[in-house]
Amino acid sequence: MTPSQPPPIAIEIRGLTRSFGAVNALAGLDLEVYEGDLLGLVGSNGAGKTTTLRILATFLLPTSGTVKVLGHNVVTEAETVRGLIGYMPDFFGVYKDMEVEEYLDFFAACYRIPSARRPRVVLDVLELVGLADKRTALVGTLSRGMQQRLGLARVLIHQPRVLLLDEPASGLDPRARLELMAILQELQRMGKTIIISSHILRELETLCNRIAILEKGRLTYAGPSAGANQRDPDRGLLVWARVAGDATAAAAVLRGRPEVLDVQPVDHGLRIHLAPGEADAGLVAEVLVHGGFRLLELREERPGLEEVFLRMTTGET
């Protein structure tokens, strides 16, 4: 059986640099995004996330390097690229005195969608983002969350294949964020390739199938979200266990083993830090059972994306 081939590359970035005077916002960035990916772009303020998205959106020229979107160079084929992407900046203006459908019809006209088709196109994107019942409302009367969904509808109006979203959940309440994330998952199911930058790492962890971590304009990690959470072989493994009986005595038994670096009581159980090497959760089970303890629960603890991010970056900008 031959291994499955990766999907085609939607975005290819090679040796990308961008300087603002003496400051290098991007310093030799290499990144591939595959068709159908929902990639989370993670980094501290000043890491280069927005600069990367603006170059992909053809709003900024790279200082050096090459960037291609669906095989088209963002510098030499900028007009073609603009028809393939939808870019939503972190802050975007709206025409508050226009009706919702009028606002979208205006942008549909900007993309030269024929007037006969525009009502259907506008209604389709409004239904997709859950604003069909607001089509005659004034834009200025919409809540912050609804305006964000309207901004997403605007970038979808010409049916782009690639979406570039810079902090789309910024300033939204928890319910509005969850609704927006559900829309993004639906867009991914429709085959869109999506890059989303965000500081809400817990949401990216469950939303995205791939993660890219930037620091000082360089890539520190790019790959599957699950891969970012794999244990660091130099750091060892964390295991959580719960036993029937005296947890303090169980902790003392575990501390007597050279493979165990530390044991701490937490969440009505024990959090065990194993030394790097061959030790795994099976060792913990063996030690506890042989020590006369009845094991009620045992699981490996993978670090969350926030912990991985803090470990992989220093916060320098």
Sign of CA dihedral 207, 210, 216, 217: negative
Q: How far apart are CA 267 and CA 252, in angstroms?
A: 18
Q: What is the CATH number of domain 9-228?
A: 3.40.50.300
Q: What is the CATH number of domain 237-301?
A: 3.30.70.100
Q: What pLDDT does residue 310 have?
A: 61
Q: What pLDDT does residue 235 have?
A: 64
Largest CA-CA distance found in the chain, in angstroms, rounded? 78
Q: Where are the domains of the chain?
A: 9-228, 237-301
Q: What pLDDT does residue 130 have?
A: 92
> What's at 316, amino acid-wise?
E
Residues 172-231 have pLDDT tens digits of 888 888 888 899 999 999 999 999 998 777 777 788 889 898 888 888 888 877 655 554
**How many Cα atoms occupy the beta-carbon half-sphere of 25 within 13 Å?**
19
Q: How confident is the model at residue 1 (pLDDT cuts 50, 70, 90)?
A: very low
pTM of the model: 0.77
Q: How far apart are CA 276 and CA 258, in angstroms?
A: 11
**How many Cα atoms occupy the beta-carbon half-sphere of 104 within 13 Å?**
32
> If we measure between CA atoms, which residue out of 11, 15, 21 comes closest to residue 64?
15
